Amino acid sequence: MIDNPYMIGVDWGTTSLRAYLMAADGAVLDRQIRASGILNVPDGDYAFVLEEACGGWMERWPGLPVLMCGMIGSRQGWREAPYLQGDAGSKELAAALVTVTTGKYQVQIVPGLEAKSFNGGPDVMRGEETILIGALAQGAPTEGLYCLPGTHSKWVSVFNGRIGAFSTFLTGEIYEMLCRRSILSALIKSTGSTSDEVRHEAFLRGLDLAGDGAGLLHQLFSIRARALTGAGDEGTAGDMLSGLLIGSELLSVGDRLRSFRDSLVLVASGAIADRYRTALAHLGFKPRLFDAETACMSGLCAVAAEGLLESTKSTNLAT
Amino acid sequence: MIDNPYMIGVDWGTTSLRAYLMAADGAVLDRQIRASGILNVPDGDYAFVLEEACGGWMERWPGLPVLMCGMIGSRQGWREAPYLQGDAGSKELAAALVTVTTGKYQVQIVPGLEAKSFNGGPDVMRGEETILIGALAQGAPTEGLYCLPGTHSKWVSVFNGRIGAFSTFLTGEIYEMLCRRSILSALIKSTGSTSDEVRHEAFLRGLDLAGDGAGLLHQLFSIRARALTGAGDEGTAGDMLSGLLIGSELLSVGDRLRSFRDSLVLVASGAIADRYRTALAHLGFKPRLFDAETACMSGLCAVAAEGLLESTKSTNLAT
């Protein structure tokens, strides 16, 4: 029996849709998960997919605000929510929401952010801004260096509780590509009966390999050369590759890691959280850990709390 | 009318088989090209494919030596020709040939090489050793730094006309993977009506990007960020990516490039030769250029000349 829900939050990315019915304190009252990522929506009928997933909630509580974040607001999604430029907090995000309609209900989309990367080039995020705001709402430090690992890992400077410069790394995508179909694939697939301890050591060797100065393109091949010449343990190529790529990412943020040694925050879930924690510990760093999925929900609540609730209630087509 | 052939040389790699009927001076008297790379040979019946391609030559000149190089000598090929360790020239290669038989004819395989990479880890080559020996036979400097660009680019120290340390870079394979199916694919495919000049400039910008210290995994993503934020020219992502990856490779051999400034050798053919020449020129280097396909044939001749011809004639099953 669900009482008094506060809002519907939707994290709609490239590979999945995760919808949450939330209480005012951020507690999850109900959830619906679909494999309908934005690239997997027939005829681009996003309204249909959204109503299929959480139309029941919208019908039962017709005035409830619905807030979405992630790639649904990209050029390939439902409607582009243009990147917000410069430092941003929950206020700026709430002020720049983009509205779409299912026909019966209005739904808001959180915009992504555009900023300078650590090296001065342009960089963008979409979805991570909501996770960051959520981690802050959960008590993460208002000044610090945040790591959000994944397909496209983000390293983010947070100042005064606002999102500043950030750099994106293609780490997860390169890892997946090399596992799936490359000269390393066959090696990676033959994990055999390798023990967890041996695999852990291979991960650490991969981390160390990243620092040998030979360059990533050579280091990648050297995983194969090690296997061919018997210098690598059987069945550990995938772990070594993972260590190498994460190590390469950490090396690239090296100076900042040291500067923010005491205010490092890792926002991640599951196996990838373990990998990054292990990698950071290997280099002598101990980040505070926040769960990414929970942070995303908190972030949607925090943005909604910045005035969306009242304005949505008064304008929703169904009221 | 073909007179007096000297040998049959076969360059048999992962994606194709190239067979040459050669004169004693290395001139090509006839050639047969097949798409039957070693991973594309039904039932692993290499003898059948070889006889289909050059059985006519073998029948007409039954005592003719047949020498193969490339991945045909790998664990996934006809028979493994174990990697030769340490510095090697044509003599060492000729002394370590591995023999297979089609049933009617004996055929020899040139072994690959195993050596220390520039950074001390293990590295391997298979096929490139023959190309290097061939470039040397064609008058390339007996002391120098050689670049053989490709799917797996090789940078090789040559001393006293022998192959020393070398490092392999996954440059070409990563480029292909990112073009084919990655977050960058759509950008790369939309080349539109971009002029050659604009594309050339994007290639140079990619080369410069490699040197900004941000790390390759971030630089790869930044090609996308530039396009999304309007900081990149439309239709140039592929050229920028190519420049970035080649630039990253050149950066990794930077010290050696400077040390061997006056004895740089580029062994390549076609478009990839142009790209590497442009990239090296952009950094102030002018390599001597040798054609890779011609060098491969010369290399097969040079190894054959090291005694193979007589010994093969006396042992061939068909004589």
ipTM of the complex: 0.93
Contact B225/A124, CB-based, under 8 Å? yes
The rounded distance, in Å, linking the Cα atoms of A300 and B248 is 40
Rounded to the nearest angstrom, the minimum Cα separation between B38 and chain A is 14
Q: How many CB pairs under 8 A join A and B?
A: 146
pLDDT at B26: 82
Q: What is the pLDDT of residues B88-145, one digit of tens each?
A: 999 999 999 999 999 999 999 999 999 999 999 999 999 999 999 999 999 999 999 9
- Sites in chain A below the pLDDT cut of 50: 313-314, 317-319
In sign, the C-alpha dihedral spanning B185, B186, B192, B198 is negative
pLDDT at A314: 45
Query: Across chain B, what does the average pLDDT equal?
Result: 93
Q: State the DSSP H helix or E strand holding residue B55, giving kind and residue range, or none if neither.
A: helix B46-60
Residues above pLDDT 90, as percent of chain B: 84
Enumerate the H helices of B138-230 as residue ranges: 171-180, 185-189, 196-209, 216-228
Cα end-to-end distance, chain A, whole Å: 23
pLDDT at B309: 56
- Quick check: A233 and A272 in contact, CB under 8 A? no
Q: What is the pLDDT of residues B292-312, one digit of tens each?
A: 999 999 999 999 999 665 555
Residues of chain A with C-beta less than 8 angstroms from the C-beta of B174: 174, 217, 220
Question: Structure tokens of A182?
Answer: 């490359």
Contact A225/B117, CB-based, under 8 Å? yes
Residue B106 sits at the chain A interface (C-beta within 8 Å): no
pLDDT at B318: 44
Contact A123/B225, CB-based, under 8 Å? yes
Residue A125's Cβ-side half-sphere holds a number of Cα atoms within 13 Å equal to 31
Residues of chain A with C-beta less than 8 angstroms from the C-beta of B171: 217
Residue of A nearest to B172 (CA): A217
B299-311 burial code (b ≥16 CB/10 A, e <16): bbbbbbbbebbee
The residues, any chain, with a CB within 8 Å of residue A237's CB and separated by 6 or more, are A184, A187, A188, A190, A202, A223, A224, A227
The rounded distance, in Å, linking the Cα atoms of A283 and A252 is 13
Question: Structure tokens of B210?
Answer: 């490699």
Strand order through the sheet with A98-101: A28-34, A17-22, A7-12, A66-69, A106-109, A98-101
Optimal mutation site among B185, B205, B217, B256, interface A, most CBs of chain A within 10 A: B217
Write out residues 249-308 of B within 8 Å (CB-CB) of A. 249, 251-252
Rounded to the nearest angstrom, the minimum Cα separation between A123 and chain B is 5
Contact B221/A170, CB-based, under 8 Å? yes
pTM of the model: 0.93
pLDDT at B308: 64
Is residue B190 over pLDDT 90? no
pLDDT at B314: 45
Q: What is the pLDDT of residues B248-298, one digit of tens each?
A: 999 999 999 999 999 999 999 999 999 999 999 999 999 999 999 999 999
pLDDT at B219: 98
B272-291 burial code (b ≥16 CB/10 A, e <16): bbebbbebbebeebebbbbb
pLDDT at A2: 76
DSSP state of A228: H
Q: Which of B123, B10, B15, B11 is nearest to B64 (CA)?
A: B10
The rounded distance, in Å, linking the Cα atoms of A176 and A248 is 16
How does residue B189 score in pLDDT terms, banded at 50, 70 and 90? confident
Optimal mutation site among A39, A221, A242, A253, interface B, most CBs of chain B within 10 A: A221
Q: What is the pLDDT of residues A180-214, one digit of tens each?
A: 989 999 899 886 778 899 999 999 999 999 999 99
Write out residues 196-225 of A within 8 Å (CB-CB) of B. 209, 212-218, 220-222, 224-225
